[in-house]
Amino acid sequence: MVNKGRVMVAMSGGVDSSVAACLLKSQGYDVVGVTMKLWSDDRTDTLGRSRGCCTIDDVEDARRVCQIIGAPHYVMSFQDEFRAHVIDYFISEYRRGRTPHPCLACNDKIKFDFLMKRANALDVEYVATGHYARLDASCGRPRLLRGVDPLKDQSYVLFGLRPHQMRHLLLPVGGFDKSEIRDIARDAGLPVADKPDSQEICFIPDNDYRAFLAERFAPTPGEIVDTEGNLVGTHQGIERFTVGQRRGLGIHSRKPLFVLSLDRAENRVVVGPAEGLLRSTLLADGVNYLSGEAPNGPTEVEAKIRYKSEAAPAVLTPRGEQAELRFREPQRAITPGQAVVFYRGDEVLGGGYIEGD
């Protein structure tokens, strides 16, 4: 079999990245498995198993997979980079009254910046991950496409990729659905075939982000007001709320109230009825276009304002590093700090971070 080149596979110990390594090995690549040590947490569950990100169990699972497929396995520490670019970002965004998406920062900075640089320094041509998305270079330039499994598609979290990164990136699982990936793992005898998917923020294994934040800075109490500025309650920290939230407001009202916005300058939470969550426009900052070039003028796209939302028709108007999105139909709970990602059909055109309307 012709050797297609060396590839460093980011292996979390889960089934997706394990199958990514297995597929690439079978296709003739010289696979090197790498588990990134990102976060230290000694907590365990009731059965005594490690919990959270980069656990001993995860490292062992990745090592066993590499042993089975005949690939070397290494653990690389990126803890300082992860703390600076993911955890500190996560904390600072909540302190600003925004709702961050830490997986976006992790992909952008850790996997597709620092890991790629480490691969390049070791003379490794490609980096691969277990993301459910596809790459296509048939038109002369790399294009990022949705994964074929609509329930698992992860193209939303990859909008920060640059053209030079896509030329050295492999996404081998994006052409399969989840059940096929588990079948491949079983057929290959991989011990992670039935391992559950992680449903948590990797560095907050109990999923209690409020407690995580409270350990790192003291909350500042403030007011909860309606859209007219009338006091309707108090809060114990603006970081405990997000746009669209209904439960846990501590307000007694005959009609349901939702968080409409967070006013960091006044340390206020603004609440109101559900219809107050509808917006037709948004402004995005830090916009990246995967082709390397912004469209010339207003462009019709489909845009997703959160990971699990459906893409909605909109007109994208580039404004330097920013972009304005005007939706055909109003969208619910457009949330500052989250990403908005632009599509044309299955292709990801780009994306940015929501600033407001």
Within 13 Å and on the Cβ side, how many CA atoms surround 78?
Answer: 27
Q: How confident is the model at residue 207 (pLDDT cuts 50, 70, 90)?
A: confident
Catalytic residue, from 53, 66, 103, 202: name it. Answer: 202
> Rounded mean pLDDT of the chain?
92
Dihedral-angle region of residue 107 (phi above 0 means left; psi in -120 to 50 means alpha; beta otherwise): alpha
Phi, psi of 287 (to 5 degrees): -75, 135
Q: pLDDT tens digits, residue range 256-291? A: 999 999 999 999 999 999 999 999 999 999 999 999
Of 25-29, 107-111, 303-307, the one with minimum mean pLDDT is: 107-111
Number of H helices, E strands in the chain: 9, 17
* 96 Cβ contact list (under 8 Å, min separation 6): 264, 337
pTM: 0.91
Q: Is-catalytic flag, 106? A: yes
Q: How many CB atoms lie within 10 A of CB 181?
A: 24
If you count them, how many residues does the chain have?
357
Identity of residue 23: L
SS3 186: helix
Say what the pLDDT of residue 41 is. Answer: 56
Tell me: pLDDT of 45 over 50: no
| Three-state secondary structure call for residue 177 | coil
CA distance 154 to 347: 12
Q: Is 207 exposed, middle or buried (0-12, 13-18, 19+ CB in 10 A)?
A: exposed
More confident residue, 151 or 44: 151
> 54, 66, 106, 139: which is the annotated catalytic residue?
106
Mind listing the pLDDT tens digit for each residue in 58-116? Answer: 999 999 999 999 999 999 999 999 999 999 999 999 999 999 999 999 999 999 999 99
User: Is 103 an annotated catalytic residue?
Assistant: no
CA angle, residues 347, 353, 355, in degrees to nearest 5: 135
Tens of pLDDT along 314-347? 999 999 999 999 999 999 999 999 999 999 999 9
Evaluate if residue 11 carries a pLDDT over 70. yes
What is the CB neighbour count within 10 angstroms for residue 265? 6
Q: Alpha helix (H) ranges present in the chain?
A: 15-26, 56-69, 79-82, 88-95, 102-105, 115-121, 163-166, 178-187, 209-214
CA distance 96 to 354: 13
